[in-house]
Structure 1
Amino acid sequence: MSLQSTPTTASPEELVRNSADESVPWVVQKYGGTSVGKSLDSITKIVESYIDSNTRVALVCSARSSHTKALGTTNLLLQASREALETPSGSGSGAASQSGTTTPFFPKRVGSGFFGNMSSSISSLSQLEVSGGGRSSSPSPFTSSSSNRTRSPPKSPTTPSLESSQVTEAAEGFHKTVDTIKAGHLEAARATLKPGPLRDELEEEIEKDCEALRGFLYAAQIIDEISPRSQDSIVGTGERLACKIVAAALRDRGVDSELVVLDSIVDSSMSAVSDAALTAAGDQGVAQLGQEFYTELAMRLGDRLRECGQRVPVVTGYFGPVPGSLLAQIGRGYTDLCAALCAVGLQASELQVWKEVDGIFTADPRKVPSARLVPVITPDEAAELTYYGSEVIHPFTMEQVIRARIPIRIKNVENPSGSGTVIYPDEGFPRGLDTAPPKKERVEDIVGLPVEERMPTAVTIKDTIIVLNIHSNRKTLSHGFLARIFGTLDRAGVVVDLISTSEVHVSMAMQDLQNKHRLDRLVRDLEKIGDVTVSRDMAILSLVGRNMRNAIGSAGLMFTSLAKAMINIEMISQGASEINISCVIEEKDAIKALNVIHDSCLTIPRSPAAGTSGSSLQLQA
């Protein structure tokens, strides 16, 4: 489809657009990397269906992942960062300077990062200002500063010239990884879009982004350093590339879209808020950004998305380097957090997380044939399932939308007609926070059953666990015993999943440390405190239910069922929230235990609307 002001195959009036009515509610849809990589046709139909139902839609996308997360773009970018520091730097001068070529791809982008050669298009944004709630009649999600731009692939503006002795080196290391990233995205662009100027411009953008990345990594190789801020910018390349493909694919299929890049939405004007937060490390030993920072960021995101008018915003899940580093502050789940903040900023009616699963199940249906879809779940329960083996949504991300009383719905991108699972901000949560009235009635009105009759909710398993048992030796007084243990764990940077204590004995279950030397060092340090034994090849079995705190006999039924099945229990722990009973068993008994507990403890009648198609969210940690 033509990029010029006059379309060749469709008029702007024929495009699917968001409503210009400000009273129409927003829905923020977050799509994971695998969905972006495999289900663009389905995503387009989902967007169109919600707009047709009088809803305004905004999309937040993760970096592409064609098959699994292990082969995804983000992992490749992290790999390229490591390779840049591992590969010996070549002789000669440093990385070449950035080209000054303008790249007016998508309008009104926010920020540049190290992609400065693509940000000069901001000066041409006046062509696409909002007018009367609508947008320019440009048929493309991006605008061109010149109608006679050359379409030949651009020369690499940031790739340094290599001497003949460096050609072999260039074919290896991060160069090879960047080539893999570029080839994958070019292949996706060609498979997704029809031939034409729109696809040509998208391919040109992919080329420029990847060559800018290559030049940045080469510069890092020369100086032999990648700072946390630089690492954030490198990782953010994945979301930029993915969202460009998504925005172009939507436009190619008749949806009026606009890419929103958030590289510099966190600017100097937010420094006072962020610096104040970072100076208060608290008792965690690590400076963290406070809620004031995220509240301000949510407001900015909402204002930015409203500027898109009737165009459908396609938002990069990466929102720029933040104080203290995005990866250090938030981790790999920053795209979920970005979607949550967008929903808060827009005061959306719902945050939707689209995956390749139908929702949250009572157990993993791949291992438990009788598992059922859970239609509604509380934030407390979702957080516990996330901690103990299920990839639901990060509790901190969930807190941002629940604080604003916005429901979260998990749905299947390949089964959009399914009801999914709603994480609902019911009256009992969040405690002590804003108590604004929820946007729907009560949980009972959604699920059709009183909450008191819904217990427990799910059973989950967490594999690859080790148990450390520490018994105080006679030379050590019981006073200070626990303090010394926790101090040792803190210095080692180890996270404990479960703990059971007495005056002179502690049992701790944790994820197996894959680095043998690190585990050996931790054991040696703990042996200074007491006698240490290590149990390997274990698993944590967790029974989760909001109202288990009011249930008499739940723990007894769970442990009796395991005993009848001849499954030995290594240790037992009940969470402080009183909605989770966990025990450690041998990993070889994990599937057997799941089925035993599901059959004996999860006795909620099967809902006619519930199904077991698709994979569960259980066991995807």
Structure 2
Amino acid sequence: MQASPSPSPPSSPYLSSGSSASSMTPPPTPPNLHQNSIDPAAKWLVQKFGGTSVGKFAVKIAEDIVSDYLDQHKVAIVCSARSGSTKALGTTNLLLKAASQSLQRTKSPNGTGTNTPNGLFNSSPTLNQSPAGSPRPRSKSSPRSDTSFGALAITPATGASETSFNATVDLLRSEHITAARSIVRDPEILNVLEAEIERDIDSLRSFLFAAQVINEISPRSKDSIIGYGERLGCKIVTAVLRDRGIDAEFVSLENVVPLPADGEVYEENETLGQEFYDKVAAAVGERIRQCGPRVPVVTGFFGPVPGSLLRQVGRGYTDLLSALLAVGLQASELQIWKEVDGIFTADPRKVPTARLIPIISPEEAAELTYYGSEVVHPFTMEQVIRKKIPIRIKNVENPRGGGTVIHPDPDIDASCASKEAEAFSSVSAGAHSTYKALGELRQSKNASMPLGWDPNMHKHPTAVTMKEGIVVLNVNSNRKSVSHGFLAGIFGVLDRFGVVVDLISTSEVHVSMAIEQGDERRSLDKVVRELSKYGTVTVARDMAILSLVGKQMHHLVGIAGRMFTTLGQGNVNIEMISQGSNEINISCVIDGRDAVKALNLIHQSCLQIMPQGARGRMGPWLF
């Protein structure tokens, strides 16, 4: 049967003309909308907002953050998928759940298992029709249109049985429609936004039905499914910005990855090198410049990536895209907005005297990430730091605060950063002349030391962190006279089972390894059985890694002695000790029951921070 053409979608006042979600050219911008600075000297500023910020603080983002930067900068916004009231109800988790449900077998009327929805191949299949049993209403303003995932959206005919993923998709729809109605005031903008949400939900449902028919979801198909989360989140943020008087434009980057030159093709399993990411950065930057004075709201999803975005990058791809965008635009700064003031000297939930760190080196931030603190993934940091672009972590709930700067310039010292933070926090709303002051501050430092440099500033480490839920595996060789191949065998077992080792201490016939405990005890039991072929294996569970981090650690004579003496005086037993080759951290493994006590002891003894120290806003220090 020949499908009738789909009617044109409603004209959207905020969608990009290049967006796959709309082929309509946006109407002229009303003269009262706030736009990006048209000053040729104005620098780009990339602001990345996480799922919690998008879910809870979309109005605050529009009213108190973005609007304050527009007169002095060209702002580009990158958004994650919206979070939910619980982690399980987060958009990405729901999308992954729906993908999994689409492959679950359903019962046919005769009792046999089948993956094909009943009625899909009726003699008169229906195109662009909602599946029966779905409780969601179809908005009259949201006709189905072509999407980037296929021109024809085929769903079961009327009378088809309910599929397992429908309830999850309906929940996604309900979450986003409810959010839209609660924060968008203008009826016209709300109507268009609801139509866009309906369109994306219908497209997602069709995609999942297709996956159910073929009984397969490839890694790249899973990428496409999770990409709906950023599309929905960005469209809501775009609508909120328009509703609050900011000329915003939704930009989808799902087709931005450049094809290889000279007819080459990417191998599906190849590891993508820096050249690939440089090309993506250039392509993303070029796409965003086409927005003119409008404020682009950019999807963190930029697939399809060879070998799958989830496999190559993981769920931190939104941070990576924001970094690549900052590089492509040659931005003055990448801002990552969270729900805390920045990076602290320790977790303030566990250490009441923890203080905000105004500036930190990329190396220190990377160490904190490795050992339990969610700062920014080291690979993401590398993309901007190599181009000398600072990363500033700021608080959505406290936008006037200076935050923490991950600074690529090794000459910028903590004393200089304190002056920066003080200057930044004193600026009145809408007057971000601070950046000019900061530039003068940096330029005024002499060739060797920054302005206000104090030789006593680096007599203490930068931070102390704790990673809990650790298992220690000790392997003693059962062939003490024959050590050849012992370590190779151990590492071979770890490689086969995909075990990531956080810390390791070795001798000729003994290996101690600290690994994450994880949820799957059977997998660990299999690893232990394999390791037993090479020697006697003992397992210590419920341990914790305590790490003291500081860029100048190798200059701090006696700091290791002070750390271990403090733990000994506090009756904290040490299971294992390790120091990295870069001499930027000293780590040890202790009993998990002593974790909080040890954290406070080391924070006061080694960082010399007393209870009267200034503190930032309470919350997860690097959440």
SS state at 2:103 partner: helix
Inter-CA distance 372–310: structure 2 relative to 1 (3 Å threshold)? same
Equivalent residue number for residue 148 of structure 1: none
Selected match of 2:45 from 27, 38, 51: 27
Q: TM-score when scaled to structure 2?
A: 0.82
SS state at 2:229 partner: helix
SS state at 2:82 partner: coil
After TM superposition, give the deviation of residue 604 of structure 1 in Å: 6.1
Is 1:50 matched with 2:69? Answer: yes
Structure 1 residues 488-537: Cα deviation after superposition (integer angstroms, max 9, x where no partner) = 10000110000000000000000013212211111111111111111101
Equivalent residue number for residue 621 of structure 2: 617
Map 1:374-453 to 2 at 5 A.
374-427=357-410, 440-441=442-443, 445=450, 449=454, 453=458
SS state at 1:463 partner: strand
Selected match of 1:160 from 150, 156, 180: 156
Inter-CA distance 480–361: structure 2 relative to 1 (3 Å threshold)? same
In structure 2, distance between residues paired with 1:271 and 1:339? 28
After TM superposition, give the deviation of residue 20 of structure 1 in Å: 1.9
Is residue 477–residue 486 contact of structure 2 (8 Å, CA) maintained in 1? yes
SS state at 2:410 partner: coil
After TM superposition, give the deviation of residue 307 of structure 1 in Å: 0.5
Equivalent residue number for residue 30 of structure 2: 12
SS state at 1:180 partner: helix
SS state at 1:64 partner: coil
Is 1:202 matched with 2:229? Answer: no
After TM superposition, give the deviation of residue 544 of structure 1 in Å: 0.4
Equivalent residue number for residue 261 of structure 1: 252
Specify the code of the residue in structure 1 equivalent to 2:120.
S
Selected match of 1:462 from 455, 459, 467: 467
Structure 1 residues 151-206: Cα deviation after superposition (integer angstroms, max 9, x where no partner) = xxxxxx54422536x24xx3xx2111111111000001101101512111111111
SS state at 2:331 partner: coil
Structure 1 residues 335-359: Cα deviation after superposition (integer angstroms, max 9, x where no partner) = 0000000000000000000000100
In structure 2, distance between residues paired with 1:78 and 1:183? 17
Selected match of 2:277 from 291, 294, 309: 294
SS state at 2:384 partner: helix
In structure 1, distance between residues paired with 2:13 and 2:568? 72
In structure 2, distance between residues paired with 1:211 and 1:189? 17
In structure 2, list runs of 5 or more residues that go unmatched.
Answer: 1-10, 15-27, 107-114, 130-139, 413-437
In structure 2, distance between residues paired with 1:183 and 1:542? 44
SS state at 1:13 partner: coil
Is 1:189 matched with 2:185? Answer: no
Equivalent residue number for residue 83 of structure 1: 101
After TM superposition, give the deviation of residue 68 of structure 1 in Å: 4.6
Is residue 266–residue 320 contact of structure 1 (8 Å, CA) maintained in 2? yes
Is 1:176 matched with 2:181? Answer: no
Equivalent residue number for residue 8 of structure 2: none
Is residue 542–residue 581 contact of structure 1 (8 Å, CA) maintained in 2? yes
After TM superposition, give the deviation of residue 428 of structure 1 in Å: 7.6
Equivalent residue number for residue 114 of structure 1: 149
Decide which moves more: 587-596 or 69-78: 69-78
Is residue 481–residue 529 contact of structure 1 (8 Å, CA) maintained in 2? yes
Selected match of 2:569 from 564, 567, 581: 564
In structure 2, distance between residues paired with 1:502 and 1:354? 44
Structure 1 residues 439-467: Cα deviation after superposition (integer angstroms, max 9, x where no partner) = 75579748864596263111111111100
Equivalent residue number for residue 425 of structure 2: none
Structure 1 residues 91-137: Cα deviation after superposition (integer angstroms, max 9, x where no partner) = 443696569xxx999xxxxx9541657xxxxxxxxxxxxxxxxxxxx
In structure 1, distance between residues paired with 2:395 and 2:360? 17
In structure 1, list runs of 5 or more residues that go unmatched.
Answer: 106-110, 118-156, 280-285, 430-437
Inter-CA distance 32–447: structure 2 relative to 1 (3 Å threshold)? farther
Map 1:132-171 to 2 at 5 A.
158-161=154-157, 163=159, 166-167=161-162, 170=163
In structure 2, distance between residues paired with 1:565 and 1:357? 31
* CA RMSD between the two structures: 2.9
Structure 1 residues 12-55: Cα deviation after superposition (integer angstroms, max 9, x where no partner) = 22111001223211110000000000111221121110113x11
In structure 2, distance between residues paired with 1:313 and 1:20? 14
Is 1:351 matched with 2:334? Answer: yes
Is residue 452–residue 547 contact of structure 1 (8 Å, CA) maintained in 2? no
Specify the code of the residue in structure 1 equivalent to 2:525.
D
Specify the code of the residue in structure 1 equivalent to 2:318.
T
SS state at 2:70 partner: helix
SS state at 1:603 partner: coil
After TM superposition, give the deviation of residue 613 of structure 1 in Å: 1.1
Tell me which protein shows more helix as a share of its residues.
1
In structure 1, distance between residues paired with 2:251 and 2:351? 42
In structure 2, distance between residues paired with 1:73 and 1:454? 45
Is 1:243 matched with 2:272? Answer: no
Map 1:480-495 to 2 at 5 A.
480-495=485-500
In structure 1, distance between residues paired with 2:562 and 2:232? 51
Selected match of 1:93 from 102, 107, 120: 120
Is residue 18–residue 51 contact of structure 1 (8 Å, CA) maintained in 2? yes
SS state at 1:86 partner: coil
Inter-CA distance 402–112: structure 2 relative to 1 (3 Å threshold)? farther
Equivalent residue number for residue 498 of structure 1: 503
Structure 1 residues 541-585: Cα deviation after superposition (integer angstroms, max 9, x where no partner) = 111000001111111111000000000111011112210111111
In structure 1, distance between residues paired with 2:324 and 2:235? 21
Equivalent residue number for residue 585 of structure 1: 590
Is residue 113–residue 233 contact of structure 1 (8 Å, CA) maintained in 2? no
Specify the code of the residue in structure 2 equivalent to 1:28.
V
After TM superposition, give the deviation of residue 311 of structure 1 in Å: 0.2
Equivalent residue number for residue 66 of structure 1: 84
After TM superposition, give the deviation of residue 603 of structure 1 in Å: 2.1
After TM superposition, give the deviation of residue 387 of structure 1 in Å: 0.5
Structure 1 residues 285-331: Cα deviation after superposition (integer angstroms, max 9, x where no partner) = x7310011111111111111111000000000001210111000000
Is residue 34–residue 68 contact of structure 1 (8 Å, CA) maintained in 2? no
Identity %: 57
Specify the code of the residue in structure 2 equivalent to 1:310.
P
Is 1:39 matched with 2:66? Answer: no
Is residue 147–residue 203 contact of structure 2 (8 Å, CA) maintained in 1? no
Specify the code of the residue in structure 1 equivalent to 2:47.
Q
Is 1:511 matched with 2:502? Answer: no
After TM superposition, give the deviation of residue 616 of structure 1 in Å: 3.4
SS state at 2:319 partner: helix
Structure 1 residues 469-494: Cα deviation after superposition (integer angstroms, max 9, x where no partner) = 00100288211111111011000011
Is residue 372–residue 612 contact of structure 1 (8 Å, CA) maintained in 2? yes
Is residue 473–residue 531 contact of structure 1 (8 Å, CA) maintained in 2? yes
In structure 2, distance between residues paired with 1:582 and 1:340? 29
Decide which moves more: 391-400 or 196-205: 196-205
After TM superposition, give the deviation of residue 617 of structure 1 in Å: 2.7
SS state at 1:542 partner: strand
The number of residues matched between the two structures is 545
Map 1:326-345 to 2 at 5 A.
326-345=309-328
Equivalent residue number for residue 211 of structure 1: 202
